[in-house]
């Protein structure tokens, strides 16, 4: 098999990689809760800007030598993909800000996995398997169930999150196509720093537009959340994810990362006492099933 996915006795390194990725999904799920809490104290654009800037600068200092070896073209590509990353995160944080359930929001964002081949087809003309149509239809059905209420309509949070998911997919497709020869951690440092600069710039423009006084006097709680999100859910999470990928396969990692919205939903119910309606549970379940089916199709294709 080209992708060593099926094995009767997983190697210790494979188990190590899987264990780290499960930890990554838990950190990511906790990150949704932390971000929701931070938005109670910090304006959304400042939150994304400062969180990403801190993570990017710290990571950049760690891999300073590697950054200096990058070519001009590698820097340009890294910044371009960072710009897309920034736009997607600014939309994501608006969606989270207006969302009543972090679990529902995380399931909508998990659609990035299915959107990637669709975006690849639209932008680069990549061949898309007809088998992808099944999970795509299931995902659309799941979104339909999420919008059911007194009347069927997309909420503001849904629109922000869906748009963010499409741009995240575009960013992923561009990154995978153009930056195969760029070291992963220096690339991440540049992208996060770019996001930070974009977020802070948009925050300043928004403050000037609304004639608000620029202030960072949000209190210790706010800065605590910013630092925790920057260091734990950005720097540590992505560093662990990159490290774990050395010990496992892409398809296996994809199956494990599907756990993120599941943990997020459970934490939202247990920690935040969120109450989801039956149609929302059904919608999340259908989206989860769509992603699992999609991953299984990839495994079968690459085996």
The token duo for 249 is: 């396969």
Alpha-carbon distance 105 to 269, whole Å?
A: 13
Distance of CA 252 to the CA centre of its chain: 18
The verdict on residue 117 lying in a domain is: yes
Mean pLDDT, the chain, rounded, equals 84
Distance of CA 26 to CAs 32, 57, 167, 283, 294, Å? Answer: 10, 24, 24, 22, 22
- Residue 102 in domain: yes
Q: pLDDT digits over 179-193, tens only?
A: 667 888 898 899 999
Q: Tokens for 11? A: 């190697």
Is 182 part of any domain? yes
Domain count, the chain: 1
- Is residue 184 one of the residues assigned to a domain? yes
Does some domain include residue 39?
Answer: yes
List pLDDT tens digits, range 194-244: 999 999 999 999 999 888 778 888 989 899 999 999 999 888 888 888 788
CA distance 283 to 280: 5
Q: Which whole number is the average pLDDT over 37-44?
A: 92
Per-residue pLDDT tens for 145-189? 876 654 556 688 989 999 999 999 898 888 877 766 788 889 889
Over residues 47-73, mean pLDDT = 94
Indicate whether 289 belongs to any domain. Answer: no
List the structure tokens of 190. 């540049």
Question: pLDDT-derived band of residue 11, with 50, 70 and 90 as boundaries?
Answer: low
Q: What is the pLDDT of residue 183?
A: 85
Q: Are 157 and 39 spatial neighbours (Cβ–Cβ below 8 Å)? A: no
Quick check: is 215 in a domain? yes
pLDDT tens-digit map of 245-284: 777 766 567 667 778 888 988 898 888 888 888 888 888 8
Residue 293 in any domain: the answer is no
2 has a pLDDT exceeding 50: no
User: 210: domain range?
Assistant: 12-128+154-248
The alpha-carbon radius of gyration of the chain (Å, integer) is: 19
In contact, 169 and 118? CB cutoff 8 Å: yes
Query: Looking at residues 33-44, what average pLDDT do you find?
Result: 93
Calculate the CA 94 to chain-centre distance: 14
Q: With H, G, I as helix, E, B as strand and everything else as coil, classify residue 10.
A: coil
């Amino acid at each position: 098999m080209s992708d060593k996915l099926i094995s009767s006795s997983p190697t210790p390194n494979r188990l190590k990689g899987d264990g780290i990725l499960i930890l990554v999904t838990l950190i990511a799920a906790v990150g949704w809760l932390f971000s929701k809490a931070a938005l109670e104290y910090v304006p959304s654009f400042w939150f994304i800007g400062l969180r990403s800037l801190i993570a990017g600068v710290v990571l950049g200092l760690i891999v300073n030598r590697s950054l200096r070896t990058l070519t001009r073209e590698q820097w340009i590509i890294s910044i371009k993909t960072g710009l897309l990353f920034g736009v997607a995160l600014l939309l994501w944080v608006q969606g989270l800000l207006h969302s009543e359930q972090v679990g529902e929001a995380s399931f909508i964002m998990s659609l990035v996995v299915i959107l990637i081949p669709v975006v690849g087809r639209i932008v680069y003309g990549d061949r898309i398997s007809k088998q992808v149509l099944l999970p795509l239809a299931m995902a659309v059905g799941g979104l339909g169930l999420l919008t059911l209420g007194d009347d069927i309509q997309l909420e503001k949070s849904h629109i922000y999150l869906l748009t963010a998911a499409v741009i995240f997919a575009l960013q992923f497709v561009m990154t995978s196509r153009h930056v195969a020869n760029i070291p992963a951690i220096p690339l991440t440092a540049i992208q996060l720093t770019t996001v930070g600069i974009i977020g802070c710039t948009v925050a300043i423009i928004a403050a000037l537009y609304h004639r608000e006084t620029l202030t960072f006097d949000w209190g210790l709680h706010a800065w605590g959340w910013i630092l925790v999100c920057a260091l734990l859910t950005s720097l540590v999470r992505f560093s662990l994810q990159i490290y774990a990928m050395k010990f496992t396969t892409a398809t296996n990692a994809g199956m494990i990362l599907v756990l993120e919205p599941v943990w997020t939903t459970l934490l939202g119910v247990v920690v935040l006492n969120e109450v989801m309606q039956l149609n929302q549970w059904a919608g999340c379940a259908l989206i989860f099933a769509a992603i699992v089916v999609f991953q299984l199709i990839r495994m079968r294709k690459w085996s």
